[in-house]
Amino acid sequence: MKLVFSLILISLFSFQINAQDSKHQILDKVSFADSLKSKEVLLIDVRRPEEFEAGKIEDAQNINVLAPESFNTEIEKLDKSKPVYIYCRSGNRSGKAAQIMQDAGFTKIYDLEGGYLNWTAEKQPED
């Protein structure tokens, strides 16, 4: 019984450490917009090209997370030391992209809460 209890505690402790190690933060759109004012950020739209062409956040580059080979190739070209701001349509794909980028060595990843739908839902913050 002590062995089972010990294994459970070790598992929970390991999970806690991994959760604290996460370099992926979700930002509300006001914080996201404020952060984009810095010239030292990378803004990546991880949606499909046709979604990107239909509407995007200014200065975003499109790297489609649903095309894994291309996505991995393109993110390897980016500066991993710069903050990366990512978004998709609603937040699901950008979460996946954030995990891939974290695994690839990016250390500062910020995800737009609610994605582009949230971004366009109301008037954006003024400069």
Please tell me whether residue 94 adopts helix, strand or coil conformation.
helix
Q: How far apart are CA 119 and CA 31, in angstroms?
A: 11
Give residue 83's pLDDT: 96
State yes or no: is 31 an active-site residue.
no
The residue assigned the tokens 């952060």 is 35
Cβ atoms 66, 45 nearer than 8 A:
no
Average pLDDT by consecutive 10-residue portion of the chain (127 residues)? 49 43 84 92 98 97 98 97 97 96 97 97 62
Active-site hit among 36, 86, 88, 97: 88
Give residue 97's pLDDT: 98
Identity at 2, one-letter amino acid code: K
Token code pair at residue 53 = 């062409």
Q: How far apart are CA 11 and CA 19, in angstroms?
A: 12
Spell out the domains of the chain, with CATH numbers in brackets: 23-121 (3.40.250.10)
Cβ atoms 62, 83 nearer than 8 A:
no
